[in-house]
Amino acid sequence: MTSNVGVGHRGHATRSVRCQSCQSGAQTISWAHSRPKQGHLVWHQRSGPAAVQSSTPVLSSRHSSRWTPAWGPQAYLRRQVCVAASSTTPGVAVLGIGLMGNKIARRLAEEGFAVTAWNRDASKAAPLAEAGIRVAQSVPEALALADVVLLLLADAPAIEATLLQGEAAGQLQGKTIVQMGTIGPNQSRSIAAAVEQAGAQYMEAPVLGSQPEAAKGTLLVMVGAAQDPADTPAWKVLQSLSKKPLYLGAVGSAAAVKLALNQLIASLTVGFSTSLGLLQRNDVDIDKFMGILRDSALYAPTFDKKLQRMLDRDYANPNFPTKHLLKDIRLFTQEATEAKLSTSLLEGLQEVIASTVERGLDNTDYSAVHDGVIDPR
């Protein structure tokens, strides 16, 4: 990298630089004397508030950028992370910008990755441009900029429609596809076969945790792949989202673990709600009950997390909406049937959660199942 040193506004040192890998130094930039975890950190000075509205990278498409206020209302700095200068930094596409996709894309951008986001409803992805994330208008556009593709889509049919058909399917060659949503183990194996046939690598990496953990990089990430992917570029991406991603085994193993955990979420939540409902009907002191429960082997931290929501019947601002819990318990029931397990309990859970969704609580926090328990219809 070549440079020339000067003095910037209010005595800030500036340095004109040229990245030898991507020749981005065609424009004058000022060096911030710090580096992110990946690549090089540089600043572009612009004038006028209109600059904040720009979502188009000034440099190549392999750069992420962010506008932030500088020393005055008419001056702005643009942070550019030059990932082309670091051969070990993969370009990342995030397909599916829901609650988790949004936080994951932002986290990776903060960690220095060049992130491209795509969502079927483009309005949900648009705000990411302000965080220095390129927003693609199509899946092929997102794939063209990526080495690692993270899937945070609703379900297996959505994955197949988005990635395995049309122009997108022809662009998978040489990429690593990381499936992070909740799907069945058989569905994951089927998608893996299609991805590998297209010349790409596949791994499943569903997570336990929600938006706060995604933002902090403390998700529990479970990985299933044909072989241990610890030495792959995709693993570097996962390490930015989790303190310690865990490789479980072959494709399907992580999907099964994720479904098993989500079945416990449903069982624990509906079970706790049912106990709470009986206590409310009999005017029992809830604080005394909770004191007994907390001191017992029966206690689970999720009980306290959902208690006040259930008592207040306030289910706003969800980290995990009721409709997704219903989708997951239906999927678990399907897998349990194929595995020749009893589904009697699952059918009861499904009935309560479906009743909750049908009364218009589909997009609320899943603690809303309490309404389905205390007011059966």
Number of neighbours of residue 231 by Cβ within 10 angstroms:
8
pLDDT, residue 4, reads: 37
Q: Looking at the whole model, is its pTM more than 0.75?
A: yes
pLDDT, residue 67, reads: 35
229 and 350 co-located in one domain: no
245 and 366 co-located in one domain: no
129 and 247 co-located in one domain: yes
Number of neighbours of residue 318 by Cβ within 10 angstroms:
20
Closest CA to 128 of 147, 144, 152: 152
289 and 314 co-located in one domain: yes
pLDDT, residue 88, reads: 65
Residue length of the chain? 377
124 and 243 co-located in one domain: yes
Closest CA to 192 of 179, 205, 181, 182: 179
CB 371 within 8 A of CB 356: yes
DSSP string covering 144-181: HT-SEEEE--SSHHHHHHHHSSHHHHTT-TT-EEEE-S
98 and 236 co-located in one domain: yes
pLDDT, residue 377, reads: 85
Tell me the pLDDT of the chain (377 aa) as tens digits: 433 333 333 333 333 333 333 333 333 333 333 333 333 333 333 333 333 333 333 333 333 333 333 333 333 333 344 433 344 689 999 999 999 999 999 999 999 999 999 999 999 999 999 888 999 999 999 999 999 999 999 999 999 999 999 999 999 999 999 999 999 999 999 999 999 999 999 999 999 999 999 999 999 999 999 999 999 999 999 999 999 999 999 999 999 999 999 999 999 999 999 999 999 999 999 999 999 999 999 999 999 999 999 999 999 999 899 999 999 999 999 999 999 999 999 999 999 999 999 999 999 999 999 999 999 98
167 and 223 co-located in one domain: yes
**The total number of structural domains that make up the chain:** 3
Coil vs helix vs strand at 90: coil
Domain coverage including residue 29: 2-82
Residue 87 in domain: no
- End-of-domain residue from the set 59, 82, 105: 82
* Burial bucket for residue 202 (CB in 10 Å: 0-12, 13-18, 19+): buried
